[in-house]
Every structure is written in C-alpha cells, then in structure tokens.
C-alpha cells in the first residue's frame, strides 16, 4: 500500500471520465469524443507506468533473480476496510496475470473509442452516452482483474454487466433488446451461483482447523483463503467449485453455455462487441485462474477432466459452427468460442507452459479479435449488411480493408509470425506433455480454423466483385471506386440521389482514421508474434506459481526423468498439503 496508487487511479479514472462525458450533455460531439479519448489515453499512460513499476518491483525485491515463492502474490496493493463485520476489504493488487489483462484493457479502449468515432447510433441516443458507458465498462473490468478480495471480485463482476447490458440493449442492432436480455439472464444465473459459492467459501473458511484454533471466523481475503486452501475438505471444495465454475463457464463461454455470446456479440455495436469478446469474456477464464485453481486446488484437480472435455469439444464445435454461419459478426463470436476452448484447455492442463500460454492467449486473442471484429465492423458499415452473401470480391475494391482483414484472419488461425501462434503453440505443447490425447484432438482445431477463416475470406474478399461492393460504372464514371476520402473519413452510406434504384451502396477503402485505429493492433499482432518476451517475462512467474498453487508439478520429459530417476509425466503432488 505504498507508493503511487496506480490501481486506484486505473479503476476510478475511467469512472470520473464517464461522469464528465455524461455531464457534457449539449457540448459539440467532437469535444465530447475528444474528452473521452483523452481520459482513455491518460489511463493508457498510467497503465504503462504501472507496467514499468511492476517490473521494477519484481526485479528489485529479489535482487533480480527472485523466485516466485519468495515474493508475495500481489504487488502495488491497496486496501481499505469496507465491511468490517465480515472482514471485507476493498483491496486491489496485481500479479503477472492481472497486469497483462489490465494493460490489454487500457490498450484497447482508446482504439475502440477511435473505431466508434462515427458510429451510427439508434434514434435518440447520443455519442456521449455511448462513450461514457464504455468508460464505465473499462472501470469495472479493470476492477475485476485488480480485485484481491473475493467479494470485491464479485461486485466488480456484477457491476461490469450493467454498462454492457445498456450498450447491447440501447445502442445495439434490431434484436438488441433480445440479445441484451439473454446476456443478462445468463449472467444473472452465473452470478447467483457464484454468490452462493462465495457464501459457502466464507463459511467453509471459518471452519478450517487453523482458523478455528486461532479463533478467527470466515474470510474472503484472497491471500488468506490461499493459505488455507488445503484445509477445506474436498467434498466442500467440489460444491463451491461448481458454483464458480458454472459462472466462469458461462462468461468464458464454454460449450454448451455459449449461445448468449453470438447474439450479444452480433447485436452489440462494434466497439462494445470488441470489448465484450476481447476482454469481458476473459473474466471467465481469469476467474478459473484466480479463484478455482489457487483457492480450490483439490476440486480443480478432481474436475479438470470436465473442463478439458468441454474445452476440446468447444474447440472443434465452435470451429465447425463458425464455418456454417451466414452472419459476419456471429461468425467472429463463434471463432472466439473455439479460442476460449484453447484457453480453458491450457488452464486445466496445469503446466507452466500451458498456463502461460493460456494467459498470453487471453491477451493475444483480445488483440486479434479486436482487429478482426473492427475490420468486420468497417466492412458491414460500408455494405449495410452483416450477411456474408452480400459481399464478394471486396479485396479488389478496397485493398486496404482486405489486407487488414487478411492480417486479422491470419492472427485468428494462429499463423506463425502473428501473436496468436505463440500462445496457441504454448497451450498445445504444454497440454500435450500431460494429456497427449486431448492435445492431439485439439490440434485438429488448427485445420478447422483454416477452414472457417479461408472460406469466409474467399466468400467476402475474393472472386468477382459482387453484392454490396458493386458499383455501377454508368453512374459514377468519374470516380469509379470512390477513392478513400481521408479527411472526412468514413464510408459513404447512402446511394447518390441521382442513382437508379438498382445501384447498391458505394464502397470506399479505409479512411485515414480507420487506418490509424487498426494500425496499432497490427503492430502488436506482429511484434508479439516475433518478440513476445516482454509479456511472457511478466506472465511466466505467476503462471509457475499458479501451477504450484493448483498442487501440480510440471511433467518432466521421459528421457530426462529416466536419467534423474524423476517423476513420471503425469505425476501430481500427493502430500498432505494438496489432497
């Protein structure tokens, strides 16, 4: 609780920003938007400073070679008593896993705001309201990742729903209300189950021998719960675990709890959808890492088979169903369901490589999906349709749009050289060393990913120019394909008045604003594909710690194990500490 309060600022600055933006009311839209963007950029700077401070404290504490077990779990901690009766503190802190997620949010929000700059909003909605809600989302999401008290985690988890609910319901597409309600109901059920588990956890923590002996009651402080995790009986852990796991499996989402996501993701406005799929859903997989593995290790070990099964089914199932979609945005959400399968698989493989890979996957997928989702949004804004059949040969008409789409597609199918390859590879190789059969089935997912992605690319981007991209040369002989109108930006959305009814919408290539929005994402895709070390250096120690906290040892290669008389490749700790 010393030093600069980075986390407090990161959580509350966007809230202040949202308040300011919402209060600006009648100000010119441009000023409102610049204000929101300004807040998000300051947030990004603070997040960068936090990153630097974290790295500094990490190397400083142990003289540069600190082992993960010699340092406390969290740094940059902040804590004030909140509900003293139950020992609940409003506590924040970061470890390697939450730091990269917080940085991801801070990186994505300015991009999302930039991408939503000229969003066409439903009647009666203002851009100020839209941007304010996104900033509220940012605050809540940052809060979830920074929470070090299970109750704070829960509150943030629930608060996060509110802005997203309005973003989908009030700013979304024609079926927005349906999608928002579905999103809300799913989340409500998950939230209630989690609530029950939290109460149970509180009770159980008050009954473990060490706390009874010391005359202490229940607690929801993460570090305390961690220290008594092995004392909670397995049978109790299983029930508590189930409530959390269902909540997280809805959020992540794992098949068969996934059907809210395609509706929510496709009806949400593009910016909100990007944050939904890119970040908000990762709260589910993050919950597995933060709550299930360290606090309920025995249950996590016992029921890992269940999550692994669902994860592998999700990888295959999500990919196949994605290939069959006719709606571009629904397509992107189904690809994400397949990717969430990889993340969950990596987490429950309990190896450092797989868990590091899963965390890196959460970051990389956030970046890659943002790229893909935003490009798809720019495409559908031009064509006025989300239906794949309304497009054809776009690459010819809008080469830049096609090029960015291609890079997003390649990142989605984990092409080496893009960031996603590293994380997918780490998940698979890390899982293979413990569960060769499951990892092998999951590897088939790389073929299916290529199937759905290349098929979409072929149908929308290649072939003869068709559908929404068609331009009648008779009408606009002077400017055939409408050169990118850089200064004004944005697509031309209505057919010219003199055009005959048969002429479809005109199609411009990306504007300068759109290029500026997408370029940072592409840079990150390639940079993290070639040199992920800065991020992995942050993740690895925490991942190794999480493996240990889940009571597992990394498998040792058979040849090495034979030499050193070491462990078999599936050995787990069976000492008293880990039931």
Subset of 513-572 contacting other proteins (CB under 8 A):
530-533, 536, 539-541, 543-545, 547-549, 551-560, 562, 569
The answer to whether 57 touches 75, Cβ cutoff 8 Å, is yes
Site string for other proteins, 323-362 (x = CB under 8 A): xxx-------------------------xxx--xx-----
Nearer to other proteins (CB atom), residue 237 or residue 433: 433
Closest separation in Å from C-beta 49 to other proteins: 26
Q: Is 68 in the site for other proteins (CB under 8 A)?
A: yes
Binding mask 4-43 for other proteins (x = CB under 8 A): ----------------------------------------
Task: Tell me how far, at minimum, the Cβ of 353 lies from other proteins, in Å.
Answer: 4
Rule CB under 8 A: is residue 61 a binding residue for other proteins?
no
Is 506 in contact with 495 (CB distance < 8 Å)?
Answer: yes
- Name the residue nearer to other proteins (CB basis): 42 or 82: 82
Q: Is 576 in the site for other proteins (CB under 8 A)?
A: yes
Cβ proximity to other proteins: between 23 and 558 the closer is 558
Name the minimum Å distance from CB 533 to other proteins: 6
* CB closer to other proteins out of 29 and 230: 230
Cα atoms found within 13 Å of the Cα of residue 554, Cβ hemisphere only: 15
Cβ atoms of 568 and 561 closer than 8 Å? yes
Question: Which residue, 85 or 494, has its beta carbon nearer to other proteins?
Answer: 85
Alpha carbon 248 to its chain's center: 13
Q: CB-wise, 237 or 353, nearer to other proteins?
A: 353
CA distance 337 to 277: 9
Strands (E), 446-495: 466-467
The two tokens of residue 61 are 């504490």
Coil, helix or strand at residue 234: helix
Cβ 114 to other proteins shortest distance, Å: 21
Q: Segment near other proteins (CB under 8 A), from 63-71, 235-243, 272-280, 375-383?
A: 63-71
Q: Which residue's CB is nearer to other proteins, number 502 or number 559?
A: 559
Stretch near other proteins under the rule CB under 8 A, chosen from 235-243, 282-290, 377-385, 433-441: 433-441
Phi, psi of 392 (to 5 degrees): -175, 135
Closest to other proteins by CB, 31 vs 562, is 562
The only residue of 203, 212, 493, 523 in contact with other proteins, by rule CB under 8 A: 203
Look-up of token digits 């939290």: 198
Q: Tell which positions 237-276 bind other proteins, by CB under 8 A.
A: 255-256, 258-259
Collapsing DSSP to helix, strand or coil, 133 comes out as: helix
Distance CA 42, CA 10 (A): 9
Query: Residue 4 Cβ, how far from other proteins at the closest point, in Å?
Result: 27
3-state secondary structure of 83: strand
Concatenate the DSSP letters of all residues of 564-579 into one string. HT---TT-B--STT--
The binding track of 145-184 with respect to other proteins, each residue x by CB under 8 A or -, is ------x--xx--x---x--x---x-------x--xx--x
Give the containing element (helix H, strand E) for 315. helix 304-323
Based on the shown chain and the rule CB under 8 A, indicate whether residue 385 belongs to the binding site for other proteins.
no
> Least CB distance from residue 427 to other proteins, whole Å?
11
Site for other proteins in 298-317 (CB under 8 A): 317
> Residues touching other proteins: how many (CB under 8 A)?
112
Site for other proteins in 443-502 (CB under 8 A): 443-444, 446-447, 450-451, 454-455, 458, 461-465
Shortest distance, position 181 Cβ to other proteins, whole Å = 6
Contact pick of 217, 486, 490, 520 for other proteins (by CB under 8 A): 217
For every residue of 497-511, DSSP letters joined together read: TTS-TT---------
Q: How far is the CA of 38 from the CAs of 41, 45, 174, 252, 395, in angstroms?
A: 5, 11, 31, 31, 34
Q: By C-beta, is 154 or 340 nearer to other proteins?
A: 154
- From the number of C-beta atoms within 10 Å of its C-beta (0-12, 13-18, 19+), residue 193 rates as middle
Taking the complex as a whole, the smallest distance from the CB of residue 34 to other proteins amounts, in Å, to 29
User: In the numeric block, which tokens belong to residue 396?
Assistant: 């010819």
Q: Distance between CA 93 and CA 259 in Å, rounded?
A: 33
Q: Where are the alpha helices (DSSP H) in 348-397?
A: 352-383, 394-397
Cα separations (Å) of 355 from 224, 295, 426?
23, 16, 8
Is residue 82 part of the contact set for other proteins (CB under 8 A)?
no
Q: Which long-range contacts (CB under 8 A, 24 or more apart) does 478-483 make?
A: 481/397, 481/398, 481/507, 481/508, 481/509, 482/506, 482/507, 482/508, 483/508, 483/509
Q: Which of residues 393, 408, 491, 508 is near other proteins by CB under 8 A?
A: 393
How near is the Cβ of 45 to other proteins at its closest, in Å? 28
3-state secondary structure of 211: helix
Q: How far is the CB of 468 from other proteins (least distance, A)?
A: 16
Complex with other proteins: residue 59 or 69, whichever CB lies closer: 69
């Amino acid at each position: 609780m010393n030093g600069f309060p980075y986390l407090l600022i990161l959580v509350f600055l966007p809230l202040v920003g949202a308040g300011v933006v919402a209060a600006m009311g009648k100000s010119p839209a441009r000023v409102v938007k610049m204000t929101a963007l300004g807040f998000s950029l300051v947030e990004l700077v603070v997040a960068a400073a936090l990153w630097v401070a974290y790295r500094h404290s990490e190397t400083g504490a142990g003289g540069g070679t600190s082992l993960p077990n010699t340092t406390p779990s969290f740094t940059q901690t902040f804590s004030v008593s909140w509900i003293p009766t139950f020992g609940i503190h409003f506590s924040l802190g970061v470890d390697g896993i939450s730091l990269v997620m917080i940085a991801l949010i801070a990186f994505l929000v300015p991009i999302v705001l930039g991408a939503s700059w000229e969003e066409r909003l439903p009647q009666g909605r203002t851009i100020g309201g839209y941007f304010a809600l996104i900033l509220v989302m940012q605050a809540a999401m940052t809060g979830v990742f920074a929470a070090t008290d299970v109750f704070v985690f829960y509150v943030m988890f629930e608060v996060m729903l509110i802005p997203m609910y309005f973003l989908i319901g009030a700013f979304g597409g024609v079926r927005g209300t349906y999608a928002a309600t579905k999103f809300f109901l799913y989340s409500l059920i998950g939230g209630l189950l989690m609530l029950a588990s939290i109460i149970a956890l509180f009770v159980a923590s008050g009954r473990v021998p060490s706390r009874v002996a010391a005359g202490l009651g229940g607690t929801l402080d993460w570090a305390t719960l961690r220290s008594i995790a092995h004392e909670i009986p397995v049978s109790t852990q299983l029930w508590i675990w189930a409530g959390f796991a269902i909540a997280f499996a809805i959020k992540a989402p794992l098949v068969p709890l996934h059907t809210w996501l395609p509706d929510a993701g496709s009806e949400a406005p593009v910016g909100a959808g990007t944050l939904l799929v890119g970040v908000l859903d990762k709260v589910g997989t993050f919950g597995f890492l933060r709550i299930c593995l360290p606090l309920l290790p025995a249950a996590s070990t016992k029921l890992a088979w269940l999550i692994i099964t669902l994860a592998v089914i999700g990888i295959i199932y999500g990919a196949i169903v994605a290939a069959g979609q006719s709606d571009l945005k629904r397509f992107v959400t189904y690809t994400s369901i397949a990717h969430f399968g990889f993340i969950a698989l990596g987490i429950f493989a309990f190896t450092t490589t797989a868990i590091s890979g899963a965390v890196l996957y959460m970051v990389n997928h956030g970046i890659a999906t943002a790229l893909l989702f935003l490009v798809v949004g720019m495409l559908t804004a031009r064509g006025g349709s989300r239906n794949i059949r309304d497009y054809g040969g776009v690459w010819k008409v809008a080469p830049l749009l096609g090029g960015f789409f291609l890079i997003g597609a390649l990142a989605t199918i984990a092409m080496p050289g893009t960031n996603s390859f590293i994380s997918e590879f780490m998940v698979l190789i890390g899982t293979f060393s413990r569960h060769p059969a499951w990892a092998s089935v999951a590897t088939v997912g790389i073929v299916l990913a290529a199937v759905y992605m290349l098929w979409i690319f072929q149908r929308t981007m290649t072939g003869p120019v068709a559908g929404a991209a068609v331009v009648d040369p008779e009408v606009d002989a002077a400017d055939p394909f409408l050169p990118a109108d850089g200064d004004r930006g944005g697509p031309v959305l209505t057919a010219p008045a003199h055009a005959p009814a048969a002429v479809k919408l005109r199609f411009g290539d990306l504007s300068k604003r759109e290029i500026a929005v997408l370029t940072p994402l592409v840079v990150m895709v390639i940079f993290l594909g070639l040199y992920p070390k800065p991020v992995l250096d942050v993740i690895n120690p925490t991942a190794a710690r999480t493996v240990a906290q889940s009571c597992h040892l990394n498998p040792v290669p058979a040849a090495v194990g034979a030499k050193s008389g070491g462990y078999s490749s599936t050995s787990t700790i069976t000492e008293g500490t880990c039931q």
